[in-house]
Amino acid sequence: MAVTDIASRTYNHGWRLDPIVRSLLDTDFYKLLMLQMIREFYPEQRVTFSVINRTRHVRLAEIVDEGELRAQLDHARTIRFTKKELIWLAGNTFYGKTQMFSPDFIHWLANFRLPEYELNKVDGQYELHFHGPWTHTTMWEIPALAIMNELRSRQATKGQGRFVLDVLYARAKAKLWSKVERLRKLEGLRLSDFGTRRRHGHLWQRWCVEAVKEGLGPSFTGTSNVLLAMDNDLEAIGTNAHELPMVAAALADSDEELRWAPYRILDQWRHTYGGNLLIALPDAFGTKTFLRDAPDWVADWTGFRPDSAPPITAGEDIIKWWKQKGREPKEKLLVFSDGMDVDSIEETYRHFAGRVRISFGWGTNLTNDFVGCAPDGSADLDPISLVCKVTSVDGRPAVKLSDNPEKATGTPSEIERYLRVFGNAGRVRAAVHV
């Protein structure tokens, strides 16, 4: 396979439109898994997703041109699933399961298109919202984030000379390869790419995935990016995300319903899927609260993906809970994916070695680590914490508490109500970098 000269492509980005998103498969696998379940259980719910820049000092609306942003968003709305893509989705084996997606769902996808968007500038930031049926707005999250991050990258490299760009990418490649060389030393490592949402660019993510596939061999278990999984004969990796409990909670009509909402929607998940897809995400309203109230059947699931508490702290809490439930942690799986990089992967791997099965989702620090790589130091390519979250459900405000209050989303009054219902145990404020 010919290796793309990324520096040349970056230098030549002056075309009328160089599309960032070229396929609806250029998304995370859990989006398609959730979408199939959403369509079954929540076909009528109207859900708004909103892009939120948690790195407030980076004023995106003063960096990214509004016309270019609209052109990329408009282009994404023209894309449809191709026949080849649908045949691959229908016929491939995912997580050991043939026909993961029903013929009815595949047929429905053939006519799918992204819904309209609402874009405004407010105080140096973009307010970008997606209103409509949950079955459609959910699919905007990944392409919207990828578009905004790549437009920022393009702006930072615009006007740079051909050789400056060549050195930039050479340094970034060498930086990634030095990480790969360290990770090679971790025997039995299981690691996958989770870096689509906040990647430097689509070509760069492809290079990173292909490089790590060669560098780590069997230790590289796959990618969350469905298009890259298809193109590189890799496993598509992913289960579910915070939007499930957030929507279920927003629909609750009482405090008691609110308390049980995360388990009610996980019950729907386990009736849709099974086996290795039974990975619970416990931190939407606090991991300690989730474990305290969780029904016994959650302990029978394959594992957990702790996502906003320090990995070792969260892992220890979950192992303790499994033991209390009479389960053997060595038979369970912990998936660590929150801001992981080589140091935290090594530390977490060594801490839990032999005590529990572990795997890692390597995200922004895989696909967008250009820190210190710009030859003259002028290009601001440090990654930012850009997210796209559920903000309302059928007109009701949605909330995420998180184990880290810096990651909380929602109106202050609703956050206060959720804290009254779920409590504040185990929530520790920490700076969010990616």
Greatest Cα pair distance in the chain: 62
What's the pLDDT score for residue 16? 67
Q: What are phi and psi of 219, to 5 degrees?
A: -70, -20
For CA atoms 263, 266, 270, 271, the dihedral sign is: positive
Q: Rounded CA gap, 360 and 349, in Å?
A: 9
Give me the domains of the chain, ranges plus CATH numbers. Answer: 6-79+114-422 (3.20.140.10)
Distance of CA 389 to the CA centre of its chain: 11
Question: What pTM, to 2 d.p., does this model score?
Answer: 0.95
Strand partners, 46: 133
**Could you say which residues of the chain have pLDDT below 50?**
none
- Listed in sequence order, the residues at least 6 apart from 253 whose beta carbon sits closer than 8 Å to its beta carbon are none
Q: What is the pLDDT of residue 300?
A: 97
Beta bridge partners of 423: none
Instruction: Tell me how many degrees the CA angle 175-347-214 measures, rounded to the nearest 5.
Output: 40
Helix (H, G, I), strand (E, B) or coil at 335: strand
* Of 225, 222, 258, 239, residue with least CA distance to 304: 239
Q: What DSSP designation does 140 have? A: G
Alpha carbon dihedral 161, 162, 166, 167, in 10-degree steps, equals -30
Q: How does pLDDT run across 231-278, given as a tens digit for each residue?
A: 999 999 999 999 999 999 999 999 999 999 999 999 999 999 988 999
Q: Which residue has the tokens 């998180």?
A: 402
Q: Rounded CA gap, 330 and 352, in Å?
A: 10
Q: What is the DSSP string of 11-45?
A: HTTTSS---S---TTSSBHHHHHHHHHHHHH-TT-
Helix axes 412-422, 255-272, angle to 10 degrees: 80
Count the alpha carbons within 13 Å of 379 in the hemisphere toward its beta carbon: 26
